[in-house]
Structure 1
């Protein structure tokens, strides 16, 4: 996949303490963009380049953090003038259980797996759900199995626990905006699924400036000022309104339209004993329950908690829409695993982490461009394509009726999708990520030939 030269240049800003390593990072990144998802022996031109790539990945001066940091700062700089940004957080497991050698470089991830854990903060526009890029990521391995370490884990200080990633994400995203914002940073609303329902997240948001959260409740917490519990109290509120939402398909459900009845109210949650300095958490709860779900489908039953003020059906409806954007990060994980084939490589753990830094950046750009086509098809194709890429797509156009003077994102993405196998008779169907990443690879191959011809002529 490719993007504008300004995005290609993010690796030129990597700080390894050695300019030669930075130049090598730029070369590796550009090569991976042309042939992402393929074996490294296919990606690089000759044995010398492949050898130097392996040496780069294993170099103690390189790291996952140093490779991804420039793209995080780039996202923050591009969005710093927006009044509001959604930051969607989620964790995925990368399984390398088939690696026979160097297994000690990885760690247990459940179900007999052996691999790495990746936590991501994805920036999203609140009005359209347009992915804007990555704001922060962290990768690590577990050092022991969870079952045998439960008692030990409870005794750890919170900063040493795996669940600290949710608070760390809030702190890191706030820090990066403070560094790039000269005057005022945007307000960031962090959106987490049930794993992020921990009291320390509530406490951190209370302390932070320009920060809020939206989390799906996992615990039926007791209330401070009521002899009651969260679920019972909110479920007994009157229905405020009904609405329909479109559900995407995943391994748990089929794609469908769900009809919801929605309740909302303010509550004050009691603080756990471990947070003695807090005096409860005043938040708003929005409860959405599916009416008459399809046979065999698990009904939607969301209890959403937020520090945003929810005092009208309109504001509750907005919050529900924001929560549905959380599925974008699942699309990002799909690109990373199926498109960039991140679990197919067979490297030592430290080398794999560095390679992962390149592939996460590529995956986030592909997600961004996919949704630019859906949300802003009328914008100029020059925002996402180079001159040579546009010329190749124009040369490939088979329709004489097509107005090639209007080189829009919509036109460009449809042309790229056709290279990946998108069929004309399915034009009413949204372009899928799979045909798009196949099309990008084909376009890159064609562009190399076009640029070579231009250089020889």
Structure 2
């Protein structure tokens, strides 16, 4: 379903891509040699990854188009945007890679737009992606001159919004981004595409226009607003701080964003003739341990925020942005995208495109177990997987509950899948992690392979 519509110049290449994807899903974190198992299949994969017609976009575009068709009139979809670096290490000699990290590693950046249903929390798929290479040397010039450069790294946020395009008639798409997207051009591109946005503000000292027409900084504008409510937030512990429960004040206000003084050619050609109208929602910690540790979210959104409930809805939308971080974990930890040893950047791009879609399927399965634990597993996962798990994980003790494939829930399925990978399932163990699930999936698919061979009759 995911790869049959790929236009690779030859049907045989499409069939090879489909079979490769099936083997990759069977062993997501394995190398190409382990996934193919034979020299003939491995050589065919290498030839496929070396073909000019098999590009990153050719592999992934049908998936993007299928994702964008999801939803109907009245539906709301979150498009979670973020960039991650694909770092192959500083000693890799693959041709064409660029600097990443603090310019000590070699690789490229992957900017992704993950579509999600905000109500069911279901991951629908990728609405678009772009590969980005950092130049080896920064262009000289003043800071304002770099802002005018259409090839600057920050411009990828706007380009991806244009790649995703406009929503279907009657549907609402909201681009949810972190502070890297706080840029006037990004707001303009979303506005032109008919999309909304929830973007965390990066610069609180920027000039905005209040409803009374006064030009004031965003920080001063929010400070002048009354507190509309209080809510708590559990702040997790880190190496430098202990866990705590923070009490936050909620404020919100309308504003207009004028065109900045420093612009570029695109803004001068496409910017609307009047300031962009939007709302700001702020969550500010009341009594932080130190000023440096204070929790502060300032969210800029195109959605109207006139009540506390609407403000809390915007906060919930932004909190769901964490799903894109989970996707990056699935791609890097689960699929081991950074452990591929191809000798050219183009080949690494192609295998990254394949693994990007595989990672979506794995993330979708685990997210469904979190958000809909009582759903029947056979309605989501392949029926044969569920039946095999029920037989393999059947309790040896008479006191162990009997597993029924027809009634097994998705939460139980994920629990037993993790058990195959070594998860003990004690109360203190939490849920199975990515690597444990991949080990369990690998073992399950090997069992299924053995069952298929046992069912075949000779002669």
Query: 1:288 offset after TM fit, Å?
Result: 0.7
Query: 1:413 offset after TM fit, Å?
Result: 1.4
- Tell me the equivalent position of 1:271: 259
Query: 1:174 offset after TM fit, Å?
Result: 2.4
Query: 1:272 offset after TM fit, Å?
Result: 0.8
Runs of at least 5 residues in structure 1 that lack an aligned partner in the other structure: 1-8, 179-183
From 323, 329, 338, the equivalent of 2:324 is 329
From 382, 385, 391, the equivalent of 1:389 is 385
Query: 1:12 offset after TM fit, Å?
Result: 1.7
8 A contact 1:342–1:356 mirrored in 2: yes
Which range moved further: 347-356 or 276-285?
Answer: 276-285
- 1:228 counterpart SS class: strand
CA distance in 2, matches of 1:82, 1:33: 35
Q: Name whichever structure is richer in helix by fraction.
A: 1
8 A contact 1:108–1:145 mirrored in 2: no
Residues 84-131 of structure 1 deviation map (CA, whole Å, 9 limit, x = unaligned) = 0000000011112344423x4111124112211100001111124332
Change (3 A) 1:66 1:427: farther
Q: Does 1:137 align with 2:129?
A: yes
Which range moved further: 29-38 or 271-280?
Answer: 271-280
- 2:48 counterpart SS class: helix
- Tell me the equivalent position of 2:38: 46
- Tell me the equivalent position of 1:258: 246
Residues 286-309 of structure 1 deviation map (CA, whole Å, 9 limit, x = unaligned) = 111123346798231111100110
8 A contact 1:268–1:280 mirrored in 2: yes
Where in structure 2 are the equivalents of 1:170-185 lying within 5 Å? 170-175=161-166, 177=167, 184=169
Query: 1:256 offset after TM fit, Å?
Result: 5.6
CA distance in 1, matches of 2:136, 2:72: 40
CA distance in 1, matches of 2:447, 2:111: 35
Task: Give the RMSD, CA atoms, in angstroms.
Answer: 2.6
- Tell me the equivalent position of 2:281: 286
Residues 54-83 of structure 1 deviation map (CA, whole Å, 9 limit, x = unaligned) = 111011111111111222223233445661
From 367, 370, 374, the equivalent of 1:374 is 370
Query: 1:258 offset after TM fit, Å?
Result: 3.5
Q: Does 1:58 align with 2:58?
A: no
CA distance in 2, matches of 1:244, 1:386: 40
Residues 136-186 of structure 1 deviation map (CA, whole Å, 9 limit, x = unaligned) = 11113223333x4555993686644332321222222225x55xxxxx352
Provide TM-score, normalisation by structure 1: 0.89
Provide TM-score, normalisation by structure 2: 0.88
Query: 1:415 offset after TM fit, Å?
Result: 1.4
Change (3 A) 1:101 1:403: closer
8 A contact 1:106–1:142 mirrored in 2: no
- Tell me the equivalent position of 2:93: 101
- Tell me the equivalent position of 1:420: 421
Give the length in aligned residue pairs. Answer: 440
Q: Does 1:192 align with 2:188?
A: no
- Tell me the equivalent position of 2:408: 407
Change (3 A) 1:208 1:65: same
CA distance in 2, matches of 1:252, 1:282: 39
From 293, 297, 308, the equivalent of 1:298 is 293
8 A contact 2:29–2:438 mirrored in 1: no
- 1:65 counterpart SS class: helix
CA distance in 1, matches of 2:28, 2:14: 20
From 61, 77, 88, the equivalent of 1:85 is 77
